[in-house]
Amino acid sequence: MGMAKGHRARRDEGITMRRSALLWGVLLLLAMPAFSLPLAAQTLTIAGGDMQRLPRQGSQVGGGIARFAPLSVLMRDAKGKGISNAPITFHCNKVGQMSCQLTPSGSENGTLTVHTDGNGVATLNQMGGRSLNLYYADGAFTMAATYRNLGVTFHLAVDPKSGPQYVYLAKIVSGDRQTKPRLGEEPYGGTANFGPMTIEVTDRNGRPAPNVRVWYGCVHAACNYGNTPQYQTDGNGRFTLPSVSEYYGTGWFTVRFDGEVLQPAEFHLQAVDPSHATVIWVKGARLVAVSGDNQRQPRAGNQVGGGIARLDPMAVRLVGPNGAPIANAPVHFNCGLDRNWSCQLTPSGAEHGQMSINTDGNGVATLNRMGGKSLSFYYAAGSHTMQVSYGNITALTLHFTVTK
């Protein structure tokens, strides 16, 4: 009888301990911050671009260049829904003397990661709307696309006997030969904003071809593109790119529209510098420091090695010989260039440390284009200067010190 009571007591104690452990586990789960796990990727499949055979063409590189249409893959979860923002790594398995380039700079060395869009599609198309340029050799090669333990292989070939095989033809409907001025200050030099460009895609019998995937991109130009609600032709075989913004340069450039089996169409656009009012230089004018002289700022943060010093706005006033302010006159700020440090006046950095700013109604020119700051300074510390000029007047120097 006593032994039975002892066994019962130990059993009750065990039950109590297990209940206690379970309770603590529940409390721990409740205390943890809420999070959600992404659905497991079940399939990675080729969506387009496989089995291309192209010849090398042109004379930019010895033997020519084979320019392949975009390569795309589709990632879906267990329910068949596309998984967005998943990093897909594309790697070119070149053969022999081949050189494989995936971006205009070529610094990716044949390997590039592209994230899937809202539909679960990742598209390799950063070479002016193409997937890759291949040169220096002919022959078959592969392109691998991988995500964790999933992978697919594109089979491609550079074949000197092959030629473009187009199923669809594209023709320009509207938007070609536009000319627009570069306006604004950011990026430095301004942006030229172009209107809609429309193409019509037909089959070889001239009938409008709906639902044809279209890619587009600027050739040898820096561009932003307006959001388009469509990525393929509509029911009438038409595709419209709402807008293109070009920056960093003037002159003619090309916007190319093409597809896997679509004969390309090219729009030719021109960016020009806006006409400026004639500057009437005021003889005897002088510059006076208003604010920002003799600043002292430390370098901070880890965006750049050693940190960045962000200096407050620098302002000067331009006055005539009688002391009256001179409005709407160009005042030039020059931080200089040096291999040991960098002085950045605009977010793009394209101004290379110097830029002109017109005076306001009070004759004041304010350098404040770096997010409200005059400049960002990095890579070195020490005392530095900002030379300010108006025409041939270079007498005004603003001083600043950057500390570690």
pLDDT of 392: 79
Q: For residue 301, which phi and psi values (nearest 5 degrees)?
A: 85, 180
CATH number of the domain that residue 301 is part of: 2.60.40.1930
Domain membership of residue 279 (yes or no) is no
Show the domain range for 81: 41-158
> Tens digits of per-residue pLDDT, 112-123?
999 999 989 999
- The last residue of one of the domains, among 158, 188, 203, is 158
b/e code 39-64 from CB counts within 10 Å (16+ = b): eebeebebbbbbebbbbbeeeeeebb
* Shared-domain flag, residues 149 and 227: no
Domain membership of residue 299 (yes or no) is yes
> Tens digits of per-residue pLDDT, 129-152?
899 999 999 999 999 999 999 999
Number of structural domains found in the chain: 3
pLDDT of 164: 57
Domain membership of residue 35 (yes or no) is no
The sheet carrying 65-68 orders its strands as: 65-68, 132-135, 99-101
* Shared-domain flag, residues 307 and 250: no
**Ordered DSSP codes for 239-273:** EEE--EEEES--EEEEEEEEETTEEEEEEEEEEEP
* Statement: the pTM of the whole predicted model exceeds 0.85: no
* Shared-domain flag, residues 264 and 290: no
* Shared-domain flag, residues 261 and 317: no
Domain membership of residue 342 (yes or no) is yes
* Shared-domain flag, residues 123 and 71: yes
pLDDT of 56: 85
* Shared-domain flag, residues 291 and 395: yes
Domain membership of residue 9 (yes or no) is no
Q: For residue 54, which phi and psi values (nearest 5 degrees)?
A: -135, 150
pLDDT of 186: 67
* Shared-domain flag, residues 217 and 320: no
CB 203 within 8 A of CB 232: no
Residues of the chain with pLDDT under 70: 1-41, 59, 162-165, 186, 188, 260, 277, 394
CATH number of the domain that residue 224 is part of: 2.60.40.10
Domain membership of residue 21 (yes or no) is no
Instruction: Please state, in angstroms and rounded to a whole number, the distance separating the CA atoms of residues 70 and 133.
Output: 11
pLDDT of 27: 45
pLDDT of 7: 46
- The last residue of one of the domains, among 272, 297, 317, is 272
- The last residue of one of the domains, among 209, 242, 272, is 272
* Shared-domain flag, residues 392 and 297: yes
Tokens 């291309």 found at: 52
* Shared-domain flag, residues 187 and 105: no
Domain membership of residue 280 (yes or no) is no
* Shared-domain flag, residues 180 and 237: yes
* Shared-domain flag, residues 215 and 151: no
Domain membership of residue 26 (yes or no) is no
* Shared-domain flag, residues 252 and 305: no
**Ordered DSSP codes for 166-188:** -SEEEEEEE-TT-EEEEESSSST
